[in-house]
Amino acid sequence: MMAVLSELECRTNFTLKKVTEYMLPKLKEPFYLYVDGKQAQLVIRPAYEVFKADLAALEGVHAKEQYCHYSEMTRFPKRVQKSVNGIHYGLAFSFDNVDSVKGFIAKLLIINQG
């Protein structure tokens, strides 16, 4: 997954524990690579909720039903769930193959150029 994101010119900012922060090519739009166990997921801002169905309709792309919560996703808003202070959260997606990742990033770029 990291090789594909690099090939697509997504810039990495940092890696902490299970999370690597990336920026979309030529844009200041953050997203995260979240690796939990063996499954890698890309997590985008919850503001993209209106595009969730469109993104999940891409071949090989699977939207997670629940929000992904992780304290290291610091560019995302917080939501009070279990802790009093809230925790950063976003929309998580998993992928069947390299082509589905490429299609997902391409769709995000189109959305951001709106």
User: For all residues of the chain together, what is the average pLDDT?
Assistant: 94
What does the pLDDT read at residue 61?
98
Q: Which CATH architecture has domain 2-113?
A: Alpha-Beta Complex (3.90)
What's the gap between Cα 15 and its chain centre?
Answer: 14
Residue whose pair of structure tokens reads 């997203």 in the numeric block = 31
Cβ atoms 76, 67 nearer than 8 A: no
- Does this model's pTM top 0.75? yes
How far is C-alpha 22 from the chain's CA centre? 9
Strand-strand pairing, 68-69 and 78-79 = unpaired
Q: What is the pLDDT of residue 113?
A: 87
pLDDT tens for residues 48-89?
999 999 999 999 999 999 999 999 999 999 998 776 789 999
- Residues, the chain: 114
Tokens of 29: 């739009």
CB count within 10 Å of CB 14 equals: 10
User: What pLDDT is stored for residue 69 in this prediction?
Assistant: 93
What pLDDT is recorded for position 74? 95
CA distances 48 to 43, 53, 64, 108, Å, are 10, 10, 13, 9
